[in-house]
Amino acid sequence: MKIRNKLLVSHGALAVCVAVICAFMLVALETTDRNRRRMADSYESLRQLNELNSDSNRMAEQISELLSIGLSNRREVTEVSRTLLARLEGVRDQLRDDIATAASDAARQRDAEMLEWIEVILDRTVRLADIGTRMADLVADGRIEEARRIYVVQVEDGLDDEISDLLRSATAADEARVLDAIDRWDRQTELLRALAISTVVLGTGLAVGAALVMDRLVSRPIEALARAVDDLGQGRVTRPRPAPGGDELGRLATRFDQMARAIARQQGDLRTARDSLMVQVAERTASLSQRTSQLEAANARLTRLNDTRTQFFADVSHELRTPLTAIRGQAEVALRQPQATVADLRQTLSQITRRSGQMGRLVDDLLFLARSEAGAIAFAFRDTMMQEVLAEVMMDAALLTRQRDVTISVTQPSGPIVLRADPDRLRQAIVIVLDNAISHAPDGTAVTLDLDEAGGRIRLAVSDRGPGFTEDEAARVFERFYRGHSRGARGGAGLGLPIARWLLEQHGGAIAIARTEPGARVEITLPPGGAQGGAAWTS
């Protein structure tokens, strides 16, 4: 586009802006006129409501005068009621016409609300006129006291107040509409004032803008082209280049810009290829590093699993071989003594029975572990009283203390403690803990069981006066096949306490070493109501 055409376009744009402003002003004037008409209608409606209120009051006064001056004003009552009813019907018909020709939904809604008020007022006025006629008839018959009662009950304390309230409500609504129309008029005036100021500012701005455009059309394109030539000569093609145009200077700038863009595109392609190569190298390096970390972690897990498996088989082999070796040795000794007495054979058989019992308990524990890992341990949860479980535990404890000089003391609340549990599995867990305490308690001491419920948890503490646990033992005592050294009264397979912990966890509970030494205190916590478990064993 030539420079002359650009000037025409700029002036045309200025004319369009002025036309748009004029159109806005016409719309504002039309809106102002509409607000003026709405306000005039509201004033007229308010005037009619005031006249209705005046007629209503006059009608009530005429009815009340029936009681004071008699039938001489009966004609005035009739005329006032007819005038009021005619005025109400006229207002009602006018509102119906206004609703039918309303220009907006808001105006239609306001007229509909006013129509509802007028219809209610019309109904109450008809009733008031009927009461006035009835009172006139009563006065004519000489029944003035009955007429007075009707006036007090139905007119003075009833319809008169109700009609006045309705008229006041309608008047308040009309006054609100008048105020709203005045507010709209004020806002419209402010808008017109703002448009006038905007017109002046916009006209001035467009004039200044036209002058600036003229400056940019000639001098600035030449300066921009000169700067671009200097930048290109110095090897910089990233600085702003002159915008292409349709005139002579624009065509020159366009061709120069095409050349500069081609150079910049080549340099950009080279930078993109370099950046892409760097990104690919970084991604592959990160991928290799991640895979290396994953392989190292997997290798470490496999190593731990292999060590655990090896240790497991070694522990099982040792635990089974020790009693088997003892049984075999005792049997061979008995066979090599043909002159052995019955007492010797009984002692040998007793030792073989004890060793075989140890093997049986180990096999039972291993079988329990295998079934728990397979998720095959079934739980029969039901409402269980903790005191009943402890009673069964005490029956088992009688067998555990038969060979020991150890007593068992139980402290429990008198009120029942109920939880949701499998009583057999819960008893099994408690017996394991109690058996461990009895085994390490010195002769002549007592093992105590303290049961209570506090803080929303059921707590059972098992305490003994044995050697207790070291800090390291307390941290590892619930690991499978772990056997401490400080509580060395009786060797075991190291499976009892881990099994007890698993059983308690299936009940939503926990087990912990509360005191290490002197003596040990093992605390079992369970939730009231319990939890239905049955998950597989986790070590």
Give me the pLDDT at residue 135, please: 73
Task: Report whether pLDDT(333) > 60.
Answer: yes
Single out the residue of 46, 45, 23, 33 nearest to residue 103, CA to CA.
33
CA atoms within 13 A on the CB side of 538: 5
- Own/partner contacts of 517-520, CB < 8 Å, gap of 24 or more, are 517/467, 517/468, 517/469, 517/470, 517/486, 518/465, 518/468, 519/463, 519/464, 519/465, 519/466, 519/468, 520/437, 520/440, 520/463, 520/464, 520/466, 520/468, 520/469, 520/487
Task: Report whether pLDDT(508) > 70.
Answer: yes
Tell me what the mean pLDDT of segment 464-485 comes to: 79
- What percentage of residues in the chain have a pLDDT greater than 70? 65
Domain boundaries, the chain: 3-210, 378-526
Length of the chain: 539
Give me the pLDDT at residue 531, please: 45
For residues 523 and 512, give the distance between their C-alpha atoms in angstroms, rounded to a whole number: 6
Single out the residue of 501, 529, 532, 535 nearest to residue 386, CA to CA.
529
> 3-210 has which fold?
Helix Hairpins (1.10.287)
The amino acid that residue 148 corresponds to is R
- What percentage of residues in the chain have a pLDDT greater than 90? 13
Give me the pLDDT at residue 539, please: 38
Task: Report whether pLDDT(505) > 80.
Answer: yes
Task: Report whether pLDDT(524) > 70.
Answer: yes
Q: How far is CA 463 from CA 407, 440, 445, 490, in A?
A: 12, 11, 11, 17
Task: Report whether pLDDT(527) > 90.
Answer: yes
Whether the CB-CB separation of 516 and 481 falls below 8 Å is answered with no
Give me the pLDDT at residue 316, please: 67
Among 3-7, 274-278, 327-331, 453-457, which is the least confidently predicted range? 3-7
- Find the Cα–Cα–Cα–Cα dihedral 277, 280, 281, 285, rounded to 10°: 170
130-179 confidence digits (pLDDT tens): 777 777 777 767 777 776 777 666 665 565 566 666 666 666 766 676 67
Whether the CB-CB separation of 448 and 409 falls below 8 Å is answered with yes
Give me the pLDDT at residue 535, please: 42
| Contacts (Cβ under 8 Å, ≥6 apart) of 237 | 231, 260, 263, 264, 267
Tell me what the mean pLDDT of segment 494-500 comes to: 82
For residues 524 and 494, give the distance between their C-alpha atoms in angstroms, rounded to a whole number: 19
- Find the Cα–Cα–Cα–Cα dihedral 63, 90, 117, 178, rounded to 10°: -110
| Contacts (Cβ under 8 Å, ≥6 apart) of 186 | none
For residues 62 and 67, give the distance between their C-alpha atoms in angstroms, rounded to a whole number: 9
For residues 432 and 446, give the distance between their C-alpha atoms in angstroms, rounded to a whole number: 17
The amino acid that residue 178 corresponds to is V
For residues 147 and 139, give the distance between their C-alpha atoms in angstroms, rounded to a whole number: 7
Give me the pLDDT at residue 434, please: 92
Encoded tokens for 480: 């499978």
- Between 485 and 410, whose confidence is greater? 410
CA atoms within 13 A on the CB side of 312: 13
Give me the pLDDT at residue 390, please: 94
Q: What is the CA 147 to chain-centroid distance, rounded? A: 68
Average pLDDT, the chain: 75
255-304 confidence digits (pLDDT tens): 777 777 787 788 788 888 889 889 999 998 998 899 999 999 889 878 86
CATH class of the region 378-526 = alpha beta
Task: Report whether pLDDT(536) > 50.
Answer: no
Q: Is the dihedral of CA 26, 32, 36, 42 positive or negative?
A: positive
The amino acid that residue 334 corresponds to is A
Single out the residue of 361, 24, 388 nearest to residue 192, CA to CA.
24
Q: Which ranges in 101-159 belong to alpha helices (H)?
A: 105-140, 144-150
Single out the residue of 490, 216, 220 nearest to residue 357, CA to CA.
490
Work out the pLDDT band at 412, boundaries 50, 70, 90.
very high
Cross-strand pairs, 383 = 420
For residues 213 and 6, give the distance between their C-alpha atoms in angstroms, rounded to a whole number: 9
**DSSP assignment letter at 158:** I
CA atoms within 13 A on the CB side of 487: 27
Single out the residue of 360, 328, 252, 319 nearest to residue 480, CA to CA.
319
90-115 confidence digits (pLDDT tens): 777 776 777 777 667 776 777 777 77
For residues 293 and 401, give the distance between their C-alpha atoms in angstroms, rounded to a whole number: 55
Task: Report whether pLDDT(439) > 70.
Answer: yes
* Residue indicated by tokens 């419920």: 453
Give me the pLDDT at residue 6, please: 65
Among 8-22, 210-224, 233-247, which is the least confidently predicted range? 233-247
pTM beyond cutoff 0.75: no
Task: Report whether pLDDT(87) > 70.
Answer: yes
* Residue indicated by tokens 């863009």: 261
